[in-house]
Structure 1
Amino acid sequence: MLRRVVRQSKFRHVFGQAVRNDQCYDDIRVSRVTWDSSFCAVNPKFVAIIIDASGGGAFLVLPLTKTGRIDKVYPTVCGHTGPVLDIDWCPHNDHVIASGSEDCTVMVWQIPENGLETPLSEPVVVLEGHSKRVGIVSWHPTARNVLLSAGDLLLKPRIHPSPSN
């Protein structure tokens, strides 16, 4: 007598469905520089994607309504001198995004209401103080205007002599 075992999960009746090609983004040069980043950030109006860019770091900001093939000359957010490693949308304002880079800076950007029509190279504010690359930026979920940034820390190993007996 065979008994079927049913998986005990609240998601056992959930099935995924592939999206149509017209609902996807196509031809985006996603960055190959790695850190602990997901390479994209999404809010109710925009999706931001870190891309490969010559001469510094850049990322795309696309309205969620714009899908399909992305033109290679689509305007970018490009103010860092090194590759962008992380981006995060402000939870209190859908038009504000922060970016951290290998150039040791964090920049806060104001995205226009209808998205980018020309390249954006002037941030609202540049936050300096890191001595190594900035790999993580994260807005506080409930407190306004509170932004966390974290970066590399070069640790030199220390050798402590053992006490002689």
Structure 2
Amino acid sequence: MVKVFRCAARHGYAVEVSPFIPNRVACTASQYYGIAGCGTLLVLDQTETGVTLVRSWEWSDGLFDVAWSESNEHLMVAGGGDGSLQLWDTANHSAPLRVAKEHTQEVYSVDWSQTRGENLIVSGSWDQSSKVWDPALSRSLTTLRGHEGVVYSTIWSPHIPGCFASASGDGTLRIWDVKSAACRLAVPAHKAEVLSCDWCKYDQNIVATGSVDCSVCVWDLRNVRQPVNQLQGHTYAIRRVKFSPFSKTLLASCSYDFTVRFWDYSRTQPLLDTVEHHSEFVCGLDFNLHVPNQVVDCSWDETVKIYTPACLSAGTHGAAS
């Protein structure tokens, strides 16, 4: 069963399931495909029969990414087309708690750190920089430069404190150490723009990248001369890649080809399933941390969808295999 929420005249850019509330999802969407107009942040709850709107807020520019706090179930950070990060509180109905505007161009990526004893936000921008923030967003703690193109994706390592990965229009995947404010590794991952990256939840050395070249590459950071696997099947740019929280070698990708695909990169035939239930670019994608094999995605076709793909409901991918 697919549960659908329709957000009229809003084109979905990102979804993230709450780390605290199993049925709660945040979604950022934009008017006019994010090219002009305003943005909307939606908080949705999954019910027995469908998806209901808990709360929504309007922002004066497009919203491109959202991340839940890992320490407070009410807080989210979103990234906007005006170069701002906004801190939102589900209990505060009117406006963001704080707005930080240091980036000089669109903020395309935000992520909240998950490692114990650390509470940081990272942002990636079209101004080619990444910034690290304290959770109050008072001001950035450090700015990291090195990419020679737009930064599309910034993701904290779930394993190593003070370490994040970034993906860029310059074709590289970079690994950063916040304490020394240095790039530890630059991987020429694709010969085209890299729009997304994600860390394996079970192995600190495994990172996936998704590119305009239609491929997902899985990298072992100990040896980056060539990818562990290159996953082929999408026919247009890959907008987002996500590793499963329940299975070591399982990942999902969504694309401008209107599909979401599921892969097991340890297999010789890695493509497990192709889900074709959108009529526009699929931009947002997340696994539910609380409900094994449940997936949430959002598209420019104005819908958010919650479902369990057939390849996972069969139970072949249970606990960390």
TM-score normalised to the size of structure 1? 0.63
Counterpart-to-counterpart distance in 2, 1:127 and 1:17: 37
Pair 1:16-2:106 in alignment: no
Q: Compared with structure 1, are the counterparts of its residues 16 and 27 closer, same or farther at alpha carbon in structure 2 (3 Å cutoff)?
A: same
Superposition deviation, residue 27 in structure 1: 2.6
1:1-165 to structure 2, matched below 5 A, reads 16=136, 18=138, 24-29=142-147, 31-32=149-150, 39-43=153-157, 44-45=159-160, 46-53=163-170, 57-67=171-181, 70=182, 75-112=185-222, 120-153=224-257
Counterpart-to-counterpart distance in 1, 2:235 and 2:208: 18
Counterpart-to-counterpart distance in 2, 1:121 and 1:151: 26
Counterpart-to-counterpart distance in 1, 2:214 and 2:146: 25
Superposition deviation, residue 143 in structure 1: 1.8
Q: Compared with structure 1, are the counterparts of its residues 17 and 50 closer, same or farther at alpha carbon in structure 2 (3 Å cutoff)?
A: closer
Q: Name structure 2 gaps, 5 residues minimum.
A: 1-90, 98-134, 259-278, 281-321
Q: Compared with structure 1, are the counterparts of its residues 82 and 52 closer, same or farther at alpha carbon in structure 2 (3 Å cutoff)?
A: closer
Secondary structure class of the residue paired with 2:189:
strand
Q: Which is higher, the Rg of structure 1 or of structure 2?
A: 1
Counterpart-to-counterpart distance in 2, 1:40 and 1:82: 18
Q: What corresponds to 1:4 in structure 2?
A: none
Q: Deviating runs (4+, > 6 A) in structure 1?
A: none
Secondary structure class of the residue paired with 1:82:
coil
Q: Compared with structure 1, are the counterparts of its residues 148 and 52 closer, same or farther at alpha carbon in structure 2 (3 Å cutoff)?
A: closer
The two structures, once aligned, show a CA RMSD in angstroms of 3.3
Superposition deviation, residue 89 in structure 1: 0.4
Superposition deviation, residue 150 in structure 1: 1.4
Whether the aligned pair in 2 keeps the contact of 1:79 and 1:121 (CA below 8 Å) is no
TM-score normalised to the size of structure 2? 0.34
Superposition deviation, residue 77 in structure 1: 1.1
Whether the aligned pair in 2 keeps the contact of 1:135 and 1:150 (CA below 8 Å) is yes
Q: What corresponds to 1:5 in structure 2?
A: none
Counterpart-to-counterpart distance in 2, 1:153 and 1:26: 32
Superposition deviation, residue 148 in structure 1: 0.4
Counterpart-to-counterpart distance in 1, 2:178 and 2:221: 14
Q: Compared with structure 1, are the counterparts of its residues 17 and 92 closer, same or farther at alpha carbon in structure 2 (3 Å cutoff)?
A: same
Superposition deviation, residue 135 in structure 1: 1.0
The residue type equivalent to 1:16 in the other structure is: A
Aligned residue pairs total 127
Give the percent of matched residue pairs that are identical in Structure 1 and Structure 2: 21
Structure with greater strand share of residues: 2
Superposition deviation, residue 17 in structure 1: 6.7
Counterpart-to-counterpart distance in 2, 1:98 and 1:64: 21
Deviations 1:40-73 (A, max 9, x none): 01113231112342xxx11211234432xx47xx
Q: Compared with structure 1, are the counterparts of its residues 143 and 122 closer, same or farther at alpha carbon in structure 2 (3 Å cutoff)?
A: same
